[in-house]
C-alpha cells in the first residue's frame, strides 16, 4: 500500500477559512526551509509547489524522490473532507508531516490526521521543524481514527473529479 498519511477537515467551514491564510503562510515557510536541502516540486514533480490562498496547496517530491502529490484545497473549492497522500517515505514526507502537524495545531478540533508513521520515530523530524519554525512543542499524539476513511469517503473518491 505504501507509507500513507490521511487527514480530514471541512474546507467549507468558517474555521478553516479563517485559518487558511496562516496555513498558506506557514506552509510557504516550511517549504522554503526544506527546499534548501530536499527537492520539493509541483504536484506533477516538476516546477514549483503551489502555495496559494486562492488556488490551494499542492506539492510533491522532485524527480526520482516523489510519491503522490500532497493537496490541501482552498476554502470553499470542494466539499471533499477526507484526503490522503502516499509519500512512500520519500524526503518530501517531512514537508507533508510538518504541514499536517501545523494544520492540526491551527485547527485542533477541525483538522484531524492519521498516519502509518510512528509518532515517536517517523514524526520526530516534523515535530522538531514545527517547534523550530513556530515555537510549538507538540508532545501529545495528534492522530485520530476519525481521520481514517469510511465507506462514504471511498464512494466519494470513486466519483471525485478533483485533480490530485
CB atoms within 10 A of CB 145: 7
pLDDT score at 164: 44
- pLDDT tens, residue by residue, 26-37: 999 999 999 999
pLDDT value at residue 137: 92
pLDDT above 60: residue 163:
no
Q: Does 162 score more than 70 pLDDT?
A: no
Confidence of residue 116 (pLDDT cuts 50, 70, 90): very high
Q: Please, what is the average pLDDT of the chain?
A: 92
Percentage of the chain lying above the pLDDT 70 cut: 93
> HSE of 160 in the Cβ direction (CA atoms, 13 Å)?
17
Amino acid at each position: 500500500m505504501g507509507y500513507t498519511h490521511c487527514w480530514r477537515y471541512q474546507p467549507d467551514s468558517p474555521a478553516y477559512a479563517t485559518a487558511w491564510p496562516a496555513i498558506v503562510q506557514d506552509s510557504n515557510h516550511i517549504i522554503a526551509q526544506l527546499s534548501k536541502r530536499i527537492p520539493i516540486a509541483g504536484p506533477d514533480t516538476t516546477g514549483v509547489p503551489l502555495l496559494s490562498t486562492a488556488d490551494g496547496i499542492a506539492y510533491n517530491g522532485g524527480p526520482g524522490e516523489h510519491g503522490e502529490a500532497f493537496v490541501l484545497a482552498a476554502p470553499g473549492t470542494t466539499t471533499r473532507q477526507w484526503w490522503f497522500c502516499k509519500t512512500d517515505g520519500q524526503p518530501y514526507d517531512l514537508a507533508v508531516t510538518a504541514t499536517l502537524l501545523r494544520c492540526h495545531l491551527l485547527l485542533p478540533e477541525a483538522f484531524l490526521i492519521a498516519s502509518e508513521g510512528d509518532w515517536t520515530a517517523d514524526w520526530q523530524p516534523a515535530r522538531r521543524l514545527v517547534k523550530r519554525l513556530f515555537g510549538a512543542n507538540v508532545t501529545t499524539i495528534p492522530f485520530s481514527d476519525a481521520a481514517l476513511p469510511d465507506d462514504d469517503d471511498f464512494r466519494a473518491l470513486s466519483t471525485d473529479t478533483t485533480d490530485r
